[in-house]
Amino acid sequence: MESLGVVKHIFLAKFKADITPERIEEFIKTFGNLVTVIEPFKSLQWGEDISIENQQQGFTHVFECTFDNVEGLDAYLAHPAHVEFANQILPAVEKYIVIDYKPMRFV
């Protein structure tokens, strides 16, 4: 196996029932803007659950952030813009999961 040399930060969210689609869209735009504000934050991909397996346990959205290394992730987590964003989005979320990992691939 070979390391891809980056760090991924995965955020799975289930928004509260009273959070409108428009508000969720605002959160997504704000999240995306963090890429331009926080230098170690290299990219953001996101999507909504489309699974037909019904194994998502209520989670509706997935966000995948990419960083060059663990130090970049640490800088992102401590950055005031991220802290402010987290303080905005977390009250709108019923439950969430965060996983950080270093992707590997089979050679």
Is 101 catalytic? The answer is no
Catalytic residue (one of 9, 76, 82, 101)? 76
Secondary structure class of 97 (helix, strand, coil): strand
Catalytic residue (one of 9, 79, 96, 101)? 79
Is 82 catalytic? The answer is no
Task: Dump strand ranges (E) for 1-107.
Answer: 2-3, 7-15, 41-48, 61-67, 93-101, 104-105
In this structure, which amino acid lies at residue 73?
Answer: L
Are the beta carbons of 88 and 33 closer than 8 angstroms?
no
Q: Which residues are part of the catalytic machinery?
A: 76, 79
